[in-house]
Structure 1
Amino acid sequence: MGWPAMAEQGDPRRGPRLSGTTRPAGESDRPTTFELFFDLLFVFAATRVTALMAQEHGVHGLLQGLLLLALLWWAWEGYTWLGDRGRAGDGVVRGGMAVASAAVFAVALAVPEAWRDATGGLNGPLVVVGAYALVRAVHLAVDGAVSGAEGDEGAPRRIALSWGTLLAGVPLLVAGALLGGWAQTVLFAGALAVDRAGAHLTARRGGLRVRDVARRSERHGLFVLLALGESAAATAAGAAGRAVSVPLLAGAALGIAVAVCLWWLYFDVVAPAAEHRLVRALGAIRVKMVVEGYTYGHLPIVAGVVVTAFGVQGVLAHAGEGGALGGFHASVLYGGAALYLGGHVLFGGLMHGVLSLPRLLAIGALLAGLPVAIVLPPLAALAGLTLVLVALAAVETARYAEQRRDLREA
């Protein structure tokens, strides 16, 4: 199963400009400040999902949040591929991303009403669907303009297929928004499946290009970093309306310790090692690694960050209480961390062809400890999660000391 592709290198400053105003990205380019601003809006929308999950407070609400997160992730991924065809600071790409930025912010504002419309104002679910469809349509329109000016012969077929799956999925999203409840969940999942099937077919038929591997890796790393920061801030919602107390401060300290561990486990060795591996890959192998490792493999990592933050938020909301944390919050807290580590195992397997034994053992420890966490007080359950993550970080810091040094020198 190959991924037909073209991998281009070189300095884009020596290449032609597209449409007279936009030039393709290259190995020497870094993410522009406008791209960072654009990514921040997507991360903000993604972390707003915690507000939806807190409002619904159940398995269905968790599923709703994950569906919205997946829709946002795939939309953002489209713009990362667009960044390889045209620089975000130039011409039509910047104009399109400016329009998409406003639409993404509209999605973020309406996320808490994505399944349950608030009294008064516009219909929240339809606002989410309309703004999301605009984000996707702008991406395809700009992609078509840039690819056409670049002379990409395979672009018309690829973009036509993408338009077809988008137009097939939007009616499902609209119907779901109008019906609400579980019908909306099923129809949203169907729209996501249709869209992903189209994206898979376009990738399989070739034409994808990866010119700037370091920039691609950096943008995904920055997305994870922004998600960690935004999620840490979002956990403060659990302390809203509560007086400052020793248990509350202890819970906040443990929550930050969890966030630091999640950062450590990604940025200490995993991210630089993956980028180093990607730089050495060429042609179709490089594109396959980007599609599988970054486009697909990073979704559970980001989802794990958001779900874990939601669990920490639940702990802070009950910090100092003597009762048990309960099945829902414990499952979200430990399950979110297990999902995050599972994403790392998947990413490592796709990029390096190996599975991380320490992380698999940590996932096993979290799943085994979940029944205990359910009956523990909130702070004790959070302390247990922190202990597992700190132990994992300590083991890997010692185990990969030589590899870390080699990566720093490289």
Structure 2
Amino acid sequence: MRQETRIPHLTNDRWRQPRLRVDSDEEGLRHASWIELFFDLVFVVAIAELSHTLETHLSLIGFLQFAALFVPCWWAWTLFTFYADRYDTDDVVHRLLILSGMLAIIFLAANVHNAFNNGAIGFTLAYVATRSIVLMLYIRVVQYVSVARANLNLYLRSYIPSTILWLASIAFGEPTRYILWAIAMTIELLTPILGSRLLTGTPVHPSHLPERFGLLTLIVLGEEIVSVASTTAGGNWDLLPTIAAVFGFAIAACLWWLYFNFLETAVIIRGIRSVHVYNYGHLPIVMGLALVAVGTEHTIHEASHHVLSFGARWALCGGVALYMLSISIISVTACRRNFSWLMVASVAIALTLAIFGGLLPALTLQGLLLAMLVIKVSIEILKTKFTATREDEIIKMETRD
């Protein structure tokens, strides 16, 4: 008797019913879809606008405004990412909604530069539109996936009150408008944590989600490469700026190495609370990288000066400290044995350079920061090699027995 051969999930990608992707036996090792990669491009624009805004206002107020605008932009990315991780169908309806979200985020990015002036209303409306499109995605999925109702209920708990606050802020001026923004964002950020029990029935994908966050990290790292390239593109190859550019690239390489070789992605399989640590831990990671990019650009410009300016020093060194602290917290959450006094010392050194770096020449400060990162990466490589050697020895001993 001839067996019927069933071709799995091939042909018509125009219309697909949403399903919980994590429960599918066909998933296995899952990668980002083309629409997800296309979607990430709008965040290149958003992050570039945020960085440009900080570059022109490197002060305490500038840092606070940068952080205040960075959070909703990052949160918008996570909302789409977690939806797609669970329910991405990549069909016509899904693509149209994602493309609509991209357009809303473009308008969000376009209003970043003047969000605390005459662009506040545009920023508010663009952000509300972004969140509303995510709501439409969840409304669609609950028609086909019953467990998705928990996701929709949790989303509505933050969407309704925060949207009211965002829209109400249009009617007010400073500082009431920004107080309403802060309250709305606090509601949005806390709701998934407080409603964790509603998420237990819809786990995240163990390979897809880390890849998505890795791609976001790579995008923001790219901003530092752009900073190095753009500041040397004018043909200014004087010795000190050139050395600063080389140091800047080397710092970016070390940060890349630390993330993609030593960050514990296994944390997301430990439960929903660990997923929250992984998710929220990436906010200071990507924010720190954006700060380093701004600091690198100013360091190259100011390399011929005796010392780095206060803002450039804190962007560069403070960004590295924020980045490394966040990686450490995620790794320790995955396994307590990952705690390292070396990481604590690295964060302390970066902060010390930020505080007292005004006593050092600009290149000396940047060089010390780079040296610390090179030592950190080197020790981690040696630790990995030692651990692998020990495991091989244990396996050989067990085999002999």
Name the count of aligned residue pairs.
376
The CA distance in 1 between the partners of 2:142 and 2:378, in whole Å, is 47
- Equivalent of 1:214 in 202, 207, 216: 207
Residues 352-391 of structure 1: pairs in structure 2 closer than 5 A? 352-353=335-336, 354-391=338-375
- Once the 2 structures are TM-superposed, how far is the Cα of residue 192 of structure 1 from its aligned partner? 0.8
Cα separation, partners in 2 of 1:44 and 1:406, compared to 1, 3 Å: farther
Aligned partner letter, 1:330: R
- Equivalent of 2:159 in 157, 166, 169: 166
User: Deviation digits for residues 11-46 of structure 1, max 9, x if unmatched?
Assistant: x959xx998444443334311121111123224313
- Once the 2 structures are TM-superposed, how far is the Cα of residue 360 of structure 1 from its aligned partner? 0.9
1:289 lines up with 2:274 in the alignment: yes
Query: 1:395 — aligned with what?
Result: 379
- Equivalent of 2:265 in 270, 274, 286: 274
- Once the 2 structures are TM-superposed, how far is the Cα of residue 184 of structure 1 from its aligned partner? 4.5
The CA distance in 1 between the partners of 2:65 and 2:79, in whole Å, is 22
Query: 2:186 — aligned with what?
Result: 193
Aligned 8 A contact 1:228 1:305 in 2: yes
User: Deviation digits for residues 151-200 of structure 1, max 9, x if unmatched?
Assistant: 22xx4464245234233223443555665665544332222101123232
Query: 1:54 — aligned with what?
Result: 55
Cα separation, partners in 2 of 1:206 and 1:157, compared to 1, 3 Å: closer
The CA distance in 2 between the partners of 1:28 and 1:406, in whole Å, is 29
Aligned 8 A contact 2:224 2:249 in 1: no
Of the structure 1 ranges 338-347 and 193-202, higher mean CA displacement relative to structure 2 is found in 193-202
Query: 1:104 — aligned with what?
Result: 105
1:205 lines up with 2:208 in the alignment: no
- Once the 2 structures are TM-superposed, how far is the Cα of residue 205 of structure 1 from its aligned partner? 3.1
**What is the aligned-residue identity percentage?**
25
- State the structure with bigger RCO (CA 8 A, min sep 6), 1 or 2: 1
The CA distance in 2 between the partners of 1:244 and 1:185, in whole Å, is 44
Query: 1:308 — aligned with what?
Result: 292
User: Deviation digits for residues 315-365 of structure 1, max 9, x if unmatched?
Assistant: 12222123x213222122111100000101111122223422221111112
The CA distance in 2 between the partners of 1:351 and 1:182, in whole Å, is 40
**3-state SS of the aligned residue for 1:319?**
coil
Aligned 8 A contact 1:30 1:215 in 2: yes
Aligned 8 A contact 1:307 1:336 in 2: yes
Give the structure-1-normalised TM-score: 0.82
Give the structure-2-normalised TM-score: 0.84
The CA distance in 1 between the partners of 2:350 and 2:121, in whole Å, is 38
Aligned partner letter, 1:292: V
Query: 1:228 — aligned with what?
Result: 221
The CA distance in 1 between the partners of 2:201 and 2:247, in whole Å, is 43
- Equivalent of 1:125 in 116, 120, 144: 120
Structure 1 unaligned segments of length 5 or more: list them: 1-11, 118-123
Cα separation, partners in 2 of 1:56 and 1:254, compared to 1, 3 Å: same
Query: 1:5 — aligned with what?
Result: none
Aligned partner letter, 1:147: V
Choose 1 or 2 for highest CA Rg: 2
Query: 1:347 — aligned with what?
Result: 330
Cα separation, partners in 2 of 1:207 and 1:222, compared to 1, 3 Å: same
The CA distance in 2 between the partners of 1:224 and 1:110, in whole Å, is 23
**3-state SS of the aligned residue for 2:303?**
coil
Cα separation, partners in 2 of 1:206 and 1:372, compared to 1, 3 Å: closer
Residues 255-270 of structure 1: pairs in structure 2 closer than 5 A? 255-270=248-263
Cα separation, partners in 2 of 1:333 and 1:200, compared to 1, 3 Å: same
Aligned 8 A contact 1:27 1:211 in 2: no
Aligned partner letter, 1:289: S
The CA distance in 2 between the partners of 1:97 and 1:404, in whole Å, is 43
Aligned partner letter, 1:355: F
Aligned partner letter, 2:276: V
Alignment root-mean-square deviation, CA: 2.9
